Structure 1
Amino acid sequence: MKAAERGILSSYDSKRASTRAVIGVMSLVVAAMVLSMLYPIAVTFFNSLKSVPEVNSFPPKLLPRAWEWSNYREAWHYMKLPLFLKNTLLIFAGNLVVTVFALGGAAFALSKLSLPRRKLIFFFFLTTLFIPPSTYIVPNFVNLKDLGLMNSFFAFWLPAGASAFNLLLLKSFFDDINNEIFEASRIDGASDWYGFTRIALPLAVPIVSTLAIFLFSSAWNDWFWPSLVMHGDPHYPLSTAIYKKVIQATGLKLNVKFAILSMVALPPIVVFLIFQRFILRGLHLGGVKG
C-alpha cells in the first residue's frame, strides 16, 4: 500500500484546539475574500436580467422578480461586438507571435549562446522592471506617432517585444534545459535557429501557455492604451469600445449595460477556469532559481 504523503500539519497537530481555531479563522477570511470577489460578478449578472425600475429600486435585491432574457438580445444588437472581439483577438495573436519569436529568441540567445557580456545585457533588461509603466507611456506614444503606426495593430505588437518580465520567464525556463541537448544538435550540424525552433520552443510549451494566458488577459482588459493609439470603431478592441460606448453612455438602459458587461466578463472567466493549471505550472517552471 502506498504511504500517504505527509502534509504541513501532522495528525497530532490538527487535533490541537489552537490549531483548529487558527484553521477556522483562516477559513473565514478566505470565505470572506471569495464572497467579496464573487459578489460584484453576481450583481452584474442578476442586474442584467432585471427590468429598469427593478435595477433602480431601493433597497436593492439580488435576485430579479422576472427574468428578462430579452436584455441580452438588445445588448447584442446595441454594438458590433464581433468586430471589437476580432480586433481584440488580433491584438492577442500578434502579441503572442512577437513574444514567442522576438522575446523567445532573445531569451534563448541570452541563455544558450555565447554572447559577449550577456550577463550585463540581461541585467539591463532586469533594471527596466523597476521603472513605473506610467513613465514610458508618453515616449511610446511619441515614438509610435513618429513611425506612423497610429491606428495600427503594430502599436500593440511592437511594444510587446520589449517586455522584460516575459523575457525573464522565458530565459529562466531555457536555463533549466540541459545544454547537452543543444551541443549534440550542433555536432550533428544543426544551426542555432534549428535548436531554438525545433528543440527549445517545443520544450517551452508550458511557459508559452502561461504567457498566452497573461497576454490574453492584458489584451482583453486594457482600454487606456488602445484609446490613445486607436481612433474609430473599426480599430477599437473590446475593452475600449465598452468604455466609450457603454460605461460613458448616458442614454443606454442600465439593465442593457449590465447585460453587455456580463457578456464581456464571461470569456476571460471561462479561459481562466479551463487553463488555470497552466498558470501555476508555467510560473513554477519559469520561476527564478536561486
Structure 2
Amino acid sequence: MKNAERGILSPYDLRKPLNRIVYLLMCLVILAMVLSMVYPIAVAFFNGVKANVEVNTFPPHFLPESWNWDNYSKAWHYIDLPKYLRNTLFIFAGNMVMTVVVLGLASYSLSRLEWPYRKAAYGFFMATLFVPPATYLVPSFINLKELHVISTFWGLWLPAGANAFYLLLLKSFFDGLNPELFESARIDGASELRGFFQIAFPLSLPIFATLAIFVFSSAWNDWFWPTFVLSQDRYPLSTAIKLFVIDARRLDLNIRFALLTMVMVPPILIFLVFQRFIIRGLHLGGVKG
C-alpha cells in the first residue's frame, strides 16, 4: 500500500468531535464560495437559452421551460465577434512581445548587469506599484497622443512594457539562475544580448508562460482603456461587448445573456487548463529571501 501524503488533518485528528465540526464548517465555507462563483455563470447560461418573455417574467425561475439554442446563433451574428476576437488576440500578441523584449531585457539588466544606480532604478520601478492606476491615465493618454499612436494598437502595446509587477517576477526569477552560466558565456565571447536570448530566455520559459496567462487575462478583460486609445474597428472583444451589448437599449435580454456566456467561456477554460502553470510560475518568480 502506498503511503498517502499527510494533510493538515489526519484520520486520527478527525476522530475528535471538535475537529470534525471545524472541518465541516471549512467544507461549507468552500462550498458557499464555489456556489457564489458558479451561480452567475449558470444564470447567464440558462437565461441565454430562454425565450425573451421567460427571461423577463417575475418571479424569475432558474431553469428554462424551453431550450432555445438558436439564441446563440442570433448572438453570434449580432456583432462581428470574429473581428473583435482577432483584435483581442492581436493586442495579446503585441503585449506579450513587449513583455518578453522590454520587461525581459530590463529585468535581466537589473539582475545580471552592473551599472550605476541600478538599485535606485529598481526601487523607482517598485515604487510605481503603490501608485493608483487612475492617477496616470491622463498623463499616459497625453504621452501617447504626443507620440501619435492614438487609434492604433501601439497605444496598448507601449504601456504593456512598463508593468512593474511583471518586472518584479522576472527579476526574482533571473536572480535564481546560476551566475556561472552567464560568466561562461562572457568568457566565450557572447554578448549580453546573446546571453539573454540563448541562456536566460530558454531557462525562463516557465515564468514567461505564467506571464502569458496574465497578459492574456488583461487583454481579454480590459475594456476601459481601449475606449480611449483605439478606434472602433480596433476594439477588443471586451470593449465591444461593453459598448454594443451591455449598453445596448433594444437588445433582447436572452440574446444579451447568450453573448455574455460565449465571452465568459474561453478565459474560464484557459484558466482551468493552465492553472497549475500560474501557481508554479508564482513560486518560481517569488521573491527569494
The Cα of 1:2 is off from its aligned counterpart by 5.9
**Is residue 2:273 matched to residue 1:274?**
yes
* Aligned equivalent of 2:79: 79
Q: Percent identity?
A: 61
For residues 195-274 of structure 1, what are the structure 2 equivalents within 5 Å? 195-232=195-232, 234-274=233-273
Aligned equivalent of 1:93: 93
| Residue 8 (str. 1) matches residue 8 (str. 2) | yes
Aligned length: 289
**What SS does the aligned partner of 1:224 have?**
coil
Structure 1 position 184, deviation (Å): 1.2
Partner of 2:141: 141
* Aligned counterparts of 2:166 and 2:239: Cα–Cα separation in 1: 24
Structure-to-structure mapping, 1:64-75, within 5 angstroms: 64-75=64-75
Corresponding residue number in structure 2 for 1:123:
123
Cα distance, 1:113 vs. partner? 1.1
Deviation at 1:3, TM superposition (A): 4.3
Secondary structure in structure 2 of the residue aligned to 1:25 = helix
Per-residue deviation at 1:170?
0.3
Q: Could you tell me the TM-score, scaled by structure 1's length?
A: 0.97
Distance 1:246 1:10 in 2: 51
- Distance in 2, matches of 1:171 and 1:15, equals 47
Distance 1:64 1:106, change over 3 A: same
Amino acid in the other structure paired with 2:238: S
Contact 2:207 2:281 in 1 (8 A): yes
1:38-95 CA distances to partner (integer Å, 9 max, x unpaired)?
A: 0000000000000011001111111111110111111111100011011111110000
- What is the deviation of 1:32? 0.3
Match of 1:55 in 2: 55
Report deviation, 1:231: 2.8
Rounded to whole Å, the distance in 1 between the matches of 2:179 and 2:2 is 36
Q: Distance in 2 between matches of 1:217 and 1:194?
A: 30
Corresponding residue number in structure 2 for 1:23: 23
Consecutive unaligned residues in structure 2, runs of 5 or more: none
Q: Give the secondary structure class of the aligned counterpart of 2:225.
A: helix
User: What letter corresponds to residue 155 of structure 1 in structure 2?
Assistant: G
**Residue in 2 aligned with 1:158?**
158
Q: Deviations over 1:2-40 (max 9, x none)?
A: 644333334432322111111111110110011001000
Structure 1 Cα separation of the partners of residues 80 and 22 of structure 2: 51
CA contact (8 A) 2:45 2:261 kept: yes
| SS of 2:12 mapped into structure 1 | helix
Give the letter for the 1:212 counterpart: A
Task: Name the amino acid aligned to 1:246.
Answer: V
Instruction: State the TM-score, normalizing by the size of structure 2.
Output: 0.97
